[in-house]
Structure 1
Amino acid sequence: MAAHAAGEYEDFWKVTRDGLLYAAEATDVALSPRQVEKIMNGYLTLKAWPDAAAALETLKTAGLRLAFLSNFTPHMLRAAIESAGLEGTFEQALSTDAVRTYKPDPRAYRLAIEALSMPRDRILFVPFAGWDAAGAKWFGYKTFWVNRLGAPPEVLGVKADGVGSNLDDLVAYLGLRA
């Protein structure tokens, strides 16, 4: 991994690539440049979970505003949303690149308030990762953790307001019908 000055920001693509190279070196796995490229390009071809499209359509039809907040770079976000077949689903696809930080930094979570011109108490944050649910909760968002892997909650001093195993559980939590 390349050395960086303290506090110097690197975008998520670069940090992820550096992490991959470090993990390969630490585990004595030799990766060719072509293998590194193939693994990294996997981030650009992500598919949606099977329940995602229908559940998101239910939420949108109910009049909810949908936005996506990610540590991914804007390029990674656009590619992943397109690959998942979710173009036009989200009003906003927000990258923490805009504030040169990563979640769980409060500046990252503030992006949604600013982009949607909506107070934090009107936003329900719906993450995949437990640490992200905790970060959003610390920031002051209501949270619903989509715990697809059935992971135990991380011991971080806060708990999500709701938990489910998929987006259908979110729809039910909100009292909507699919």
Structure 2
Amino acid sequence: MSRRQFLRLVAGAGGLLAACRPKAAETPLQPHPGRRAEIRGICFDLFTLFDPRSVERVAETVAPGQAAELCREWRVRQFEYAWLRATAGQYRDFEVVTGEALDYAAGARGLSLSANDRHHLVAACSELTPWPDTRAALESWRRAGLRLAPLANYAPGMLSRLLAHAGLAELFDAQISTDRARTFKPSPRAYALGPELLGLPREQIVFAAFGGWDAAGAAWYGFPTFWLNRLGVAPEALSAAADATGTTLAELAAFVAR
């Protein structure tokens, strides 16, 4: 084979290989060590923005002297029941799960709740107090052009009532309830609602987690993840970890801008 014939063959093969090679847009993104995609949005767990301990003030009017213990048992059962139902294929939305968990917690402490007391306690979950830095941080991110959304296990009605009660609804581009996927975090289907409803790839959305388990779930899914550990709890012993950790939204803002 002459040199000229060889070059023609190589050129032809190169064209064939180029035609068969996946287009750049279809190739999975491989993050460069130490670098990441431009951040264009943030998804928040609700408790990074709202203090979950607000419920205890209402519980104290119903169960004086027992509010802290009641709420502690209630919170644990909320998540246990949510995950149990999701795993067993017996999904009910988080408002139903919240009522069921409250019934258990009250019974376990020997409390008999009236229908009115039960209603006020469940409603209190949609009347949480925002953390002091919440509004200013959200307004700053809005001015910067970031797309914002809570990504919460809350049922849609609970979520909309909470944001309306706090006067924060207009600061979000979407209100994302995992009810849309008929599951709860940390299911990947729950986190996938963020990119779907914000219209951004996951690599461009920071997920702000309140719980260490949620930070792990978001990291497993592929979000750039910030653990907002407001209450200073111990980290989870899992194989995934947040990219950064802090206790304030100012630290989250620095991570987003980095």
Q: Do they fold alike, i.e. is TM over 0.5?
A: yes
- CA distance in structure 2 between the partners assigned to 1:120 and 1:145 by the alignment: 17
The structure 2 residue matched to 1:74, chosen from 156, 160, 163, is: 156
> Secondary structure of 2:245's match?
strand
In the TM superposition, structure 1's runs of 4+ consecutive aligned residues that sit over 4 Å from their partners are none
- Offset of residue 173 of structure 1: 2.5
Partner of 1:137: 219
Equivalent runs, 1:40-119 vs 2, <5 Å: 40-119=122-201
Q: Give 1 or 2 for the bigger CA radius of gyration.
A: 2
Partner of 1:125: 207
The structure 1 residue matched to 2:95, chosen from 13, 36, 48, is: 13
- CA distance in structure 2 between the partners assigned to 1:46 and 1:155 by the alignment: 29
- Offset of residue 82 of structure 1: 1.1
> Secondary structure of 1:16's match?
helix
- Offset of residue 74 of structure 1: 0.9
- CA distance in structure 2 between the partners assigned to 1:95 and 1:16 by the alignment: 15
- CA distance in structure 2 between the partners assigned to 1:148 and 1:80 by the alignment: 20
> Secondary structure of 1:155's match?
coil
More RCO (CA 8 Å, sep 6+): 2
Structure 1: unaligned runs, 5 residues or longer: none
| Contact kept? 2:208, 2:226, Cα under 8 Å | yes
Deviations 1:124-156 (A, max 9, x none): 101211111111011111101111101111112
- CA distance in structure 2 between the partners assigned to 1:52 and 1:34 by the alignment: 31
- CA distance in structure 2 between the partners assigned to 1:18 and 1:56 by the alignment: 33
The structure 2 residue matched to 1:165, chosen from 236, 247, 250, is: 247
Higher helix share: 2
2:199 counterpart letter in structure 1: S
Structure 2: unaligned runs, 5 residues or longer: 1-84
2:135 counterpart letter in structure 1: A
- CA distance in structure 2 between the partners assigned to 1:85 and 1:156 by the alignment: 36
| Contact kept? 1:46, 1:80, Cα under 8 Å | yes
Deviations 1:73-99 (A, max 9, x none): 111011101112212111011011111
> Secondary structure of 1:67's match?
strand
1:134 counterpart letter in structure 2: A
> Secondary structure of 1:145's match?
strand
Is residue 2:217 matched to residue 1:148? no
Instruction: Give the percent of matched residue pairs that are identical in Structure 1 and Structure 2.
Output: 47
Relative to structure 1, the CA distance from residue 50 to residue 72 in structure 2 (aligned partners, 3 Å threshold; closer, same or farther) is same
| Contact kept? 1:47, 1:83, Cα under 8 Å | no
The structure 2 residue matched to 1:26, chosen from 108, 111, 115, is: 108
- Offset of residue 101 of structure 1: 0.4
User: How well do the aligned residues superpose, as a CA RMSD in angstroms?
Assistant: 1.6
